[in-house]
Amino acid sequence: NAGVTQTPKFRILKIGQSMTLQCTQDMNHNYMYWYRQDPGMGLKLIYYSVGAGITDKGEVPNGYNVSRSTTEDFPLRLELAAPSQTSVYFCASSKDRELDTQYFGPGTRLTVL
């Protein structure tokens, strides 16, 4: 199993541009999450999904959108990039919601200039 994969690994955007961060897992996990990690801060939840077709907001959803059309894929969309979205983005998945290990992707380092 490849686990959780993310693309791209690095990206530089200009203010106002849009992009999609891709996340795929091959473990047939129901739950998927997007987190962002800012320097000196703990990871914060952006969006999560409890299964195909079901998504919900986390702690810091503004400026982002997600979709979950399949069990495997959970893309994160930035519509109008802003410097405040400069961060490292991690996708994670777990089989169950509670009391289950979360598996993390390698991360995407995004810079908005």
Partner 1 sequence: KNEVEQSPQNLTAQEGEFITINCSYSVGISALHWLQQHPGGGIVSLFMLSSGKKKHGRLIATINIQEKHSSLHITASHPRDSAVYICAVEGSGGGADGLTFGKGTHLIIQP
- Give the footprint of partner 1 on this chain (CB under 8 A): 31, 33, 35, 40-45, 48, 50, 56, 58-59, 88, 90, 92, 97-104, 106-107, 109
Q: Cβ of residue 83: shortest distance to partner 1, in angstroms? A: 21
Task: State the Cα–Cα distance between residues 57 and 15, nearest whole angstrom.
Answer: 24
* Nearer Cβ to partner 1 (44/77): 44
Task: State the Cα–Cα distance between residues 109 and 19, nearest whole angstrom.
Answer: 13
Residues 34, 45: contact at Cβ < 8 Å? yes
Query: Residue 44: phi, psi to the nearest 5?
Result: -125, 140
Q: Cβ of residue 98: shortest distance to partner 1, in angstroms? A: 5
Q: Cβ of residue 16: shortest distance to partner 1, in angstroms? A: 27
Q: Cβ of residue 79: shortest distance to partner 1, in angstroms? A: 22
* Nearer Cβ to partner 1 (17/61): 61
* Torsion from C-alpha of 12, 21, 108, 24, nearest 10 degrees: -160
Task: State the Cα–Cα distance between residues 75 and 65, nearest whole angstrom.
Answer: 8
* Nearer Cβ to partner 1 (17/103): 103
* Nearer Cβ to partner 1 (17/22): 22
- Copy the structure tokens of residue 3: 């686990």
